[in-house]
Amino acid sequence: MTSNDTAFARACQVIPGGVDSPVRAFGSVGGTPRFIDHAEGAYVYDVDDRQYLDLVGSWGPALLGHAHPQVVTAVRAAAGKGLSFGAPTEAEAELAELIQLRVPLAERVRLVSTGTEATMTAIRLARGATGRDLLVKFAGCYHGHSDGLLVAAGSGIATAGLPGSAGIPEPIAAQTVVVPYNDAEAITAVFAELGDRIAAVITEPAAANMGIVPPEPGFNALLRELTRAHGALLIYDEVLVGFRVSAAGWWGLEGRTISPDLFTFGKVVGGGMPLAALGGRADVMELLAPVGPVYQAGTLSGNPLATAAGIATLKLADAAVYERIDAASAALQGAVVDALNGAGVTHQLQTAGSLFSVFFNVDHPVRNFADAQTQNTAAYRAFFHSLLDSGIALPPSAFEAWFLSSAHDDRVLEQAVAALPAAARAAAQQG
């Protein structure tokens, strides 16, 4: 028995499934999740001191690679001054300003601790601002684990093949209208029927929790047009893509052409610490307590360590960082496609900026969740384990994006390029 097996067995005695977030389980790929001891740059190391080239990146935050020395130094310095004050700090305004500099539409910003809190608060704000109840979301998009958002959700819910979550009262689920992603006709019809009852549309402006499914041209613009025409708000949930796919997230990458009312950010903005944010139109954001009547609070909101990590990360994430990640992603994508073609594996590789994922045994573009569900997850499982045996850690789910960092240079990627042909052959055997 390895130390990893022992660690998992121990954890299972006290933690449901041995993990504190279901996406970390190996339920859909089989086997034992790796218990990580430490991480540095492009690598994570498990408790048996096995090294893995990491393509999970903590599910997004590790834009600069793990344990970037300057980020760690900033956190250490903050820790030396106290772990939490429950009172405002200057650093919170500094981080809010850095966010605003990148996304000027974030006229006001509130820092929270998780992406779930950010989306939950954005929705409450939209309901408070409009006096309406209904929320529109898209099937296969994931916006965190608050009640109304676990209907037809992506990420771990998709990985487990669940329609939603138990424990959500029917009247709450009934406030969420689910529409297929990229379906202009369906969303237009929903607004025609329910337009005066809809508080907001929340969208992943490029979907990344059902595998990568980019918006079709004009889709996000249509969302803006419909919400505006019907007096509803548009929420861009950039928790995953924000500050990752470009300095200004997906909103920047798509050309700053669309003006959502609210944004939610997470992952990169906290530099690996528990921090997320929402931002948007001043008149809407000023409805938040203590100024307005929409309540939101958090003992650890804007925590000084997390804020220090976020500031250091955003300051370090300059144009060169994004260029490096784009180049690494293009190189890895090319190697993946070559390997899969070489082994005769039909597949779709889809991208959203530097994020990408591969749908096995799919021969047409994946436009929505129903398309994503037609992929051959057994082929992914074989591919995943072949790479893991070669010391390369992909997300343990076919429905997740692959994450690169500025530490993934050519030398680092050589290991992946060398291991991909065997992984592709393993996938081919699953037909």
Ligand X SMILES: Cc1ncc(COP(=O)(O)O)c(C=O)c1O
Q: According to CB under 6 A, which one of 237, 254, 261, 371 is a site residue for ligand X?
A: 237
Which stretch, 66-74, 111-119, 123-131, 329-337, contacts ligand X (CB under 6 A)? 111-119
Rank residues 121 and 377 by Cβ distance to ligand X and give the closer one.
Answer: 121
**Do 48 and 56 touch, CB atoms closer than 8 A?**
no
Pick the binder of ligand X from 4, 114, 176, 406 (CB under 6 A): 114
List 99, 240, 325, 331, residue binding ligand X (CB under 6 A): 240
Contact with ligand X (CB under 6 A): which of 25, 112, 239, 312? 239
Q: In one letter, which amino acid is 423?
A: A
The minimum distance between CB 209 and ligand X, in angstroms, equals 5
Q: Is 43 or 142 the residue whose CB approaches ligand X more closely? A: 142
Q: Which residue has the tokens 């992506």?
A: 154
How far are the Cα atoms of 301, 351, 356, 420 from residue 427, in angstroms, in the given order? Answer: 44, 21, 18, 10
Is residue 215 at the binding interface for ligand X, with CB under 6 A as the rule?
no
Q: Which of 155, 159, 176, 357 binds ligand X (CB under 6 A)?
A: 155
Q: Choose the stretch contacting ligand X; rule: CB under 6 A; options: 75-83, 139-147, 251-259, 296-304.
A: 139-147
Residue (of 316, 331, 302) closest to 247 by Cα position:
316
Which of these segments, 176-184, 233-241, 354-362, 414-422, binds ligand X (CB under 6 A)? Answer: 233-241
Give the Cα separation of 74 and 79 in Å (integer).
Answer: 9
d(Cα 372, Cα 208) in Å, to the nearest integer? 11
- Given the residues 137, 236, 267, 322, select the one marked as catalytic: 267
Q: Which stretch binds ligand X (CB under 6 A): 47-55, 122-130, 235-243, 412-420?
A: 235-243
Tokens of 75: 């956190």
User: Quick one: 123 or 331, whose CB is closer to ligand X?
Assistant: 123
Q: How far is the CB of 241 from ligand X (least distance, A)?
A: 7
Nearer to ligand X among residue 142 and residue 359 (C-beta): 142
| Number of residues near ligand X (by CB under 6 A) | 16
Does 46 engage in binding with ligand X (CB under 6 A)?
no
204 contributes a contact to ligand X by CB under 6 A: yes
Q: Which of these is catalytic: 142, 181, 236, 380?
A: 142
Instruction: Please state, in angstroms and rounded to a whole number, the distance separating the CA atoms of residues 285 and 429.
Output: 53
The C-alpha atoms of residue 161 and residue 258 are separated, in whole angstroms, by: 33
Active site residue 43: no
Give me the 252-291 binding string for ligand X, x by CB under 6 A, dash otherwise.
--------------x---------x---------------
Is 20 assigned a catalytic role?
Answer: no
Among 209, 375, 405, 406, which residue sits at the site for ligand X (rule: CB under 6 A)?
A: 209
Minimum distance from residue 117 beta carbon to ligand X (Å): 7
Query: Which residue is nearest to ligand X, using beta carbons?
Result: 115
User: Is position 46 annotated as part of the catalytic site?
Assistant: no
Closest separation in Å from C-beta 21 to ligand X: 7
Asked if 230 is part of the footprint of ligand X (rule: CB under 6 A), the reply reads no
Q: Contacting ligand X (CB under 6 A), which of 4, 116, 227, 406?
A: 116
Q: Tell the smallest beta-carbon distance from residue 113 to ligand X (Å).
A: 8
Q: Quote the tokens at residue 206.
A: 């490029």
Contacts to ligand X by CB under 6 A: 59, 114-116, 119, 142-144, 155, 204, 209, 237, 239-240, 266, 276
Residues tagged active-site: 142, 237, 267
